[in-house]
Amino acid sequence: MTTVLVVDDEAHIRSSLRGILSEEGMHVVEAANGREALALLEQCRPDLVVLDVWMPEVDGLEFLRAIQNRAQAPAVLMISGHGNIETAVKATQLGAVDFIEKPFSLAGFLGAVERALRRQQVQNQQDPHPASPLPTSSRSVEGVAPQVRGRFRQRTVARSMVDTGTGLHSGVKTGLILQPMPPGSGIVFSNLSAETPVPAHLDFVDSTGYATTLHRAGVTIRTVEHLLAALHAYRVTNLFVKVQGEVPIMDGSAQRWCELIESAGVEEQDAWAEEYAVREVVEIRRSEEEWIRIEPFDRLAVTYVLEYPPPVGRQEYSFVLQDPHSFREQIAPARTFGFVKDMKLLASMGLASGGRLDNCILIDDEKIVNTTLRFPEELARHKILDICGDMYLLGRPLRGKITAKRTGHSENIALLRKLRSQFEG
């Protein structure tokens, strides 16, 4: 029988959680504060601790610090009625496997309990597929040419990771928690309450104005494309991403997400995933000067042509995703960009509130005003970065050759929808 230690200074919360967990067949032990819980650890040896953050004497974070270096410490699920991303990040850094906000629904709470117990079980077992920081290739179905059909082992991160930053469009302090997920889960976003999962999938795209936004049942996750581009490159297929409204912009590139994935390690899993192989030419054409096309190819390749008035001019870059290293070196460092003349318009739309001199390339009528380009064609490379991220909304890695001229997120998503309709038709 699974033993759960519930630690909360409010008796009615402990009573409610005891009833919920007991109905699920679990043995429940209670403690009113962290000090009492530390004493109970040796007696009951719980599989899971459900731990409130704010308590007298020893609070939840102090409890986590106290058990951080213990051998075979239980999984810890943090709960809080005053949750914020800073507390969630701090708790995760101290070893909590999940963090949810009060009030939470029954389904949201039990889902968090299930994830925490599952992750603890995985950690306690010897993993037949050790983490590898840089997976470099997929595998093909035996006897079938790669350009026709390919498959590879599903992947997740080897351990939870956290980071904080500022939302480019919201302007508020935000952050995210990356958590491993079992095979078949997909990439799933949620807010801190974790009650409504939002799959990173084309079906949940809400808007594409200046960023790609996902929405489901009242939960909105903004600016997902840079993180998804890195996950696409590393072929991470299963991941739970908790975020407070908007994925942080960091320095405007995907460089930090590559670092985070490599720091966590990428773990191959006992299940296969198939690539989405393009079988015929699909095109979205707004005009002779604005179009995007995809055609069959044996890898993911993107060529982007960018044309703006001076001082930008014409930039063109071609990229082939050979492996994560090629993405990390050629595409990930390319930063988002904007024009000074557009800032007033964006502000009136409630966008770019978090735009700062250190997280985007800012351009006026004469020059780039705040930085030096990392590449001569950095702006075109960033457009490729966005395409790589948006294309992962198919739910699996894409194989095809994309050529685009003067397009953005709206055209990327339109291409995906047309591609899917033809593929499934």
Catalytic residues: 409
Alpha helices in 235-306 (DSSP H): 255-264
Going through 114-238 in order, the beta strands assigned E by DSSP cover 151-157, 161-166, 173-180, 187-190, 198-199, 205-207, 213-216, 219-221
- For residues 398 and 392, the answer to whether their CB atoms sit within 8 Å is yes
Alpha helices in 265-408 (DSSP H): 324-330, 340-348, 378-391
Q: Say if strands 161-166 and 173-180 run parallel, antiparallel, or are unpaired.
A: antiparallel
Which residue in this structure is represented by tokens 């490159």? 233
Name the helix (H) or strand (E) containing 91. helix 85-93
Q: Compute the distance between CA of residue 299 and CA of residue 328 in angstroms, rounded to an integer.
A: 17
Helix, strand, or coil here: 24? coil
Which residue in this structure is represented by tokens 């318009």? 345
Burial class (CB in 10 A: 0-12, 13-18, 19+), 103: exposed
